[in-house]
Each structure stands twice: as structure tokens, then as C-alpha cells.
Amino acid sequence: MLSSYKSRLFCRLAITTSLLSAPFNLALAQVPASLQQLLSSQPLPQSAIGIWVQRAGETSALARLNEEQMFNPASTIKLATTLASLNALGPDYTWKTDFYSHAPIVNGVLKGDLIMRGTGDPGAVSEEHWRMLGSLYRSGLRKIDGDLILDSGYFSLAPEDPGAFDGQPLRAYNQPPHPLLVNANSLRFHIRPDAEGQIHIEADPPLPGMKINNQLQAGTGNCGDWQRGIHYQASGNEVTFSGRYPVHCGNYELLRTAVDPEFYAAEMFRLHWQQWGGEFNGNVRTVSSPPLPARALLQHQSRPLGDLVKVANKWSHNIMTRHMALTLGAERYGAPATLEKARNALYETLRESGVEVGGMVIDNGSGLSRHVRISPRQLGQVLNAGWNSPWRHEFISSMSISGMDGTTRRQFTASPEAGRMHLKTGRLNDVSAITGYVRSHCGKDLMVVLMINHADAHRGPGSQLQERFLRWAHNLDCQ
């Protein structure tokens, strides 16, 4: 009787155990045994992990886990944005910055206002801006008697709180789009203690109208402390530094936003126009639709898209990819650029490239969002579309090379995997993702996707699983 009871109990326990483990085993049945072992040996639940692995040029997956589940991909969604931009616009696409006026130029003097119209050049940095104003100076213009009018009408966007995502409104990665951004509206502050213990602060670029209120005091402390004890605040056109800075730590740099884009653009114009020898003492006004027609004075072209996607993907540049998405929308549906046009253009272009977009949520195109969603299979389709694109080499070369540059420059250094992977990383709180192309040890190209959405996935176990997964892909047998 006891033996019969034990037998029935064992059967019930076996059936219950089988039912409870079935989802995990069924999922793992879609991956090779070596990957099953890897996944089983780590603490993250299988429901939090999305995987897609496929050989380049083939149609079926080698490994897939939760491939239809929607995950937050963080910045790996930039691959969808940049591929759509390359396929729709071409790598030779450039952004235009135009200078107009309604007034005549007499003996080098503009007898009226100068209009500057931007279209959201993602590569507008100090050097490019300086060269642009040099071209304007060489056109014969020497002095502006009127005002500088900034035309911001190419973008039509709702006001955006730069601190809405994580409560850090002065972080450069949180800067909202604007058609006249220079340096992504960020400044690099150089903190330099001297031999007497005085602390000097210089801004790059040195915007003439911005005031630096230096309240930093010399002190001691740990060089690894958060911002080395520096407190940073910005209000209006003034930035304030306070706290005790450990002078024995030497020089330090802080990249932050400080002023609104219109002020930044105006002060950059004053700075560089004066450096070229030009004169301007007027005011600066921002408008969304200046009176037309006007006489064209100069059209400046940006660096080509094929160059800029390398910065956007290798260094995961949020505002650059946001501008690319907005540009794609304006080119497809007409100016002004809007967020809705950008999203629709991305979905349409990806669909035309062979990506199934059902259920996908791209949001702003950069991945800096809690709403963005894509499945491992869809992200794998983006990689496949990139492989089959006429701009394959531009697309792949835009990604970080393992152990060499970009966001994976510190991974796999001095190991066989160094230089064998072109990858895009993604990281938010509770989100860890990596995707791209891995050349295996025997020379086969793989398309790999790994997304993890789980508490603290961006730390510890999530990072460890990323590394082990990529090593597994690199060492995969070539049969």
C-alpha cells in the first residue's frame, strides 16, 4: 500500500516538474546544446532573454530564444534608424545650412538682416561651423549692419523636457533635437588646478556670452568619486561650479549642456565670425518662418551620411540618430520634420528593406526611451537587411569593432575575439543588449542578437552573459 502511494506520488511529482520546466526546455530546444549549457549556468530567467543567431547569407536561424517577444533594445535600435537612413537617402546624402538676406551687400557690408536656416546637420561641430563661416567671409561679406535671424522652421516638434527620461537635464545624451544644433549643444569644461592650488575652469567652445561662476575650492579626496566632488548647475546663460575638488587628481573634463540651442548658435556665430575678421554688433532673433523670397548668399553642405553613421553607431550618439530619423521623415513626407513623420518613414523604409515591423515601436529612433520595442527576430531581420543592402560595407563599418574602437573598445582586448566583431551596444537601467556581426574562428560570418530585460540586467549577470554569448558565437563550429 505504501509502495503504491509512493509510486503515485512520484508520478505526480514527475508530471508537475515536467509541466513547470516545459516552457524553459521548449525554448532551449531551439538553441544548440553548447548554448543551452551556457544559458542554464547563469542566473537570469529565460523569459528575460531574447536571442537570434543566423549565418549571413542563410535563411534559417541557428539559435533562437523568445524570438517573437518584444524587448526594449536600448541603443541597438540605432541600427534600424541608421540602416533605414542609408537605404533611403544614400551614404552621399548631406544636410544643408543656408544663408539668405533681403538686403544688398555694398562694399562688403550687408545693409540689413542675415538669415541662417538649418536643417538639423548631425555632424555640425566647431570645426565645421568655423569653416562654414570662413566660406561666408570669403564670399565677400565683411560686416552685418542688421540682425542675425535663426530660422528654426525645418523641425516642428513639441516642447521636450530634457530631464524627463532620467532626471538629468544637463547630460549631453538628453539634448532634444533642434535644426541649428552645434556640438549637439554641449560644452566640454576643462578643470585645471595649478601649483598654487587655484582651480581654473575653461569652456570649449568659449561662448562669449556665457558666464562661468567658479566656486570650486581646493580639497582632498578620492579621484574616483562622482565627478570628483564637483557640483554643476546651469541657469540662463550662467553655469556654476561648486564643491571641493581634489587638486592632487590633476586635470578633469566634464561634458554637459548649459544653454538653450538658440543662444549657443548665436554665440558660436559671434565667436567664429569675429575670428574670421567679420563685424557684427546686432541682435539675434529666432523665427520659424522668415519672410521669403530672399537672396541666397551661401549654402554649406555637411559631411556625408556615410561618415556620420560611423559616429552615431560606434559611439552611440543619441541626438545624431534622432536627427537622422527626423530628416528621413521630412525627405519622405515633406518639411517640416515631425516625430510622427520620422516614425512612419522608419517603419516604411524598414518594411521595404524586408523587415517585418508589426508590433515594433521605434519611438524617437535613438533607443533613449522606455517605450521602444523590437523582437529578436525583427532585429535579426535588420541585420539581414543590412547584409543584403547595397550599402553593406558602410553599415557594418559604422559599428564598434571589438577590442579596438567605439563602445566595445575595452571588450576582448588582447584576445582572439578582438577585431572579429562589429557590434552595436545598448544599455539602460534594467536593459542590456548587443547585436551585430561576428566572424567565427573559422571565418564564417554570423548575425547575432542578444537582448536582456530584467532587474539590474545592465550590471553583473547581464554583462557576463553578453561576453559569454559573444565568445560562444565566435567559437561556433563551422558545419
The answer on pLDDT for 10 being more than 60 is no
pLDDT, tens digit (0-9, with 9 covering 90-100), for 90-122: 999 999 999 999 999 999 999 999 999 999 999
- Residue recorded with cell 523665427: 287
- Which residues 6+ apart lie within 8 Å of 53 measured at CB? 61, 62, 63, 64, 380, 446, 447, 448, 449, 473
Contact call for residues 119 and 327 (beta carbons, < 8 A): yes
Q: Give the pLDDT mean for 19-25.
A: 39
Contact call for residues 232 and 256 (beta carbons, < 8 A): yes
CA–CA distance, 9 with 21 (Å, rounded to integer): 18
Q: Exposed/middle/buried for 204, CB within 10 Å: 0-12, 13-18, 19+? A: middle
- Residue recorded with cell 549637439: 184
Residue type, 478: C
Cα dihedral 57→61→65→66 (10° resolution): 80
The helix, strand and coil proportions of the chain, stated in percent and rounded to the nearest 5, come to 35, 25, 40
Cell numbers describing residue 477: 563550429
Q: Give the pLDDT mean for 239-266.
A: 96
Which range has the top average pLDDT, 4-8, 10-14, 159-163? 159-163
303-331 burial, b at 16+ Cβ within 10 Å, e below that, comes to: bbbbebbbbbbbebbbbbbbbbbbbbbbb
The answer on pLDDT for 21 being more than 60 is no
The answer on pLDDT for 167 being more than 50 is yes
20-24, 29-33, 78-82, 263-267: the lowest-pLDDT one: 20-24
CA–CA distance, 101 with 104 (Å, rounded to integer): 8
pLDDT, tens digit (0-9, with 9 covering 90-100), for 24-48: 444 454 888 999 999 999 999 999 9
- Nearest CA to 79 among 464, 396, 389? 396
Q: Give the pLDDT mean for 215-227.
A: 91
Residue 479 confidence (pLDDT): 56
SS3 of 205, please? Answer: coil
Mean pLDDT of the chain, nearest integer: 92
Task: Sketch out the chain's domains with CATH numbers.
Answer: 28-92+306-474 (3.40.710.10), 96-158+261-301 (3.50.80.20), 172-257 (no CATH)
pLDDT, tens digit (0-9, with 9 covering 90-100), for 287-320: 988 777 789 999 999 999 999 999 999 999 999 9
Residue 290 confidence (pLDDT): 75
